[in-house]
């Protein structure tokens, strides 16, 4: 039997007026489109500002300012994202960054991009954080497998907003992969969000 997960309580802003609760999405029943009844594991709760979420995400705005039940509730449940990827976005949009966010693993960057896609957060807001994350990681010292995982995040965020760091990082990693790989350069997506990928002609 799996060990129960202890939910995390994360305060993004002390005077927040909204709690976002993250649940693990329940497994889908084979051969059916419906999900199993009930929610998955309760993973974390985040204390945030309703106004900030509504301002930065069109999806949250529709839920929190529209005719959905969430508009009248102080608690909103979600199933998209991971604890770290949601925390990253909430800290970015609330201007409440911590040093711990510059130490998250590569997979959480992909999860954050998936959250941006689902919640309509602008990827441009990741620019400053991601450039610093790459610098602190010292991308010139990572191995080839890690480089393959970073190709898509570097390219996507660079396309969206530009940066002095991201084009250099993408160029360096593609050059190293070309010189040191024995096969064609391919990216690697460490998540199940298979719709996130480079276009076929973007790695040369």
Please, which residues have CB within 8 angstroms of residue 88's CB and are 6 or more apart in sequence? 101, 104, 108, 112, 129
For residue 41, give the nearest of 5, 3, 82, 92 by alpha carbon: 5
What are residue 111's phi and psi, to 5 degrees?
Answer: -65, -40
Residues 160 and 197 grouped into a single domain: yes
Total domains present in the chain: 2
Residue 182: strand, helix, or coil: coil
pLDDT in tens, 71-116: 999 999 999 999 999 999 999 999 999 999 999 999 999 999 999 9
The overall average pLDDT reported for the chain is 86
Sheet holding 75-78, edge to edge: 8-11, 42-48, 18-23, 75-78
Q: Which domain holds residue 146?
A: 105-204
Contact 36, 29 (CB under 8 A): yes
Residues 126 and 161 grouped into a single domain: yes
Q: Per DSSP, what are the bridge partners of residue 8?
A: 44
Residues 199 and 120 grouped into a single domain: yes
Residues 127 and 72 grouped into a single domain: no
CA-CA distance, 108 to 190, in Å (whole number)? 9
Please, which residues have CB within 8 angstroms of residue 97's CB and are 6 or more apart in sequence? 91, 129
Residue 93 lies in a domain: no
Q: Token pair 């998936």 is at which residue?
A: 114
Residues 113 and 56 grouped into a single domain: no
CA dihedral 199, 200, 202, 203 (to 10 degrees): 130
pLDDT in tens, 20-64: 999 987 665 544 343 434 578 999 999 999 999 999 999 999 999
Residue 32 lies in a domain: no
């Amino acid at each position: 039997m799996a060990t129960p997960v202890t939910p995390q309580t994360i305060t993004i802003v002390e005077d927040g007026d909204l709690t976002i609760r993250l649940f693990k999405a329940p497994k889908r029943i084979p051969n059916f489109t419906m999900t199993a009844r009930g929610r998955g594991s309760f993973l974390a709760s985040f204390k945030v500002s309703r106004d900030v979420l509504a301002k930065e995400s069109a999806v949250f705005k529709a839920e929190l300012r529209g005719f959905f039940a969430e508009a009248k509730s102080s608690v909103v449940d979600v199933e998209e994202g991971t604890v770290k990827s949601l925390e990253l976005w909430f800290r970015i949009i609330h201007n409440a960054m911590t040093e711990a966010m510059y130490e998250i693993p590569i997979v959480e960057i992909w999860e954050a991009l998936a959250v941006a896609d689902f919640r309509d957060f602008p990827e441009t807001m990741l620019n400053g954080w991601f450039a610093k994350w790459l610098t602190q990681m010292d991308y010139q010292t990572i191995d080839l497998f890690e480089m393959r995982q970073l190709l898509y995040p570097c390219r996507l965020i660079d396309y969206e907003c530009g940066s002095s760091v991201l084009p250099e990082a993408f160029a360096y990693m593609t050059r190293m992969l070309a010189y040191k790989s024995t096969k064609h350069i391919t990216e690697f997506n460490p998540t199940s969000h298979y719709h996130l990928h480079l276009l076929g002609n973007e790695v040369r």
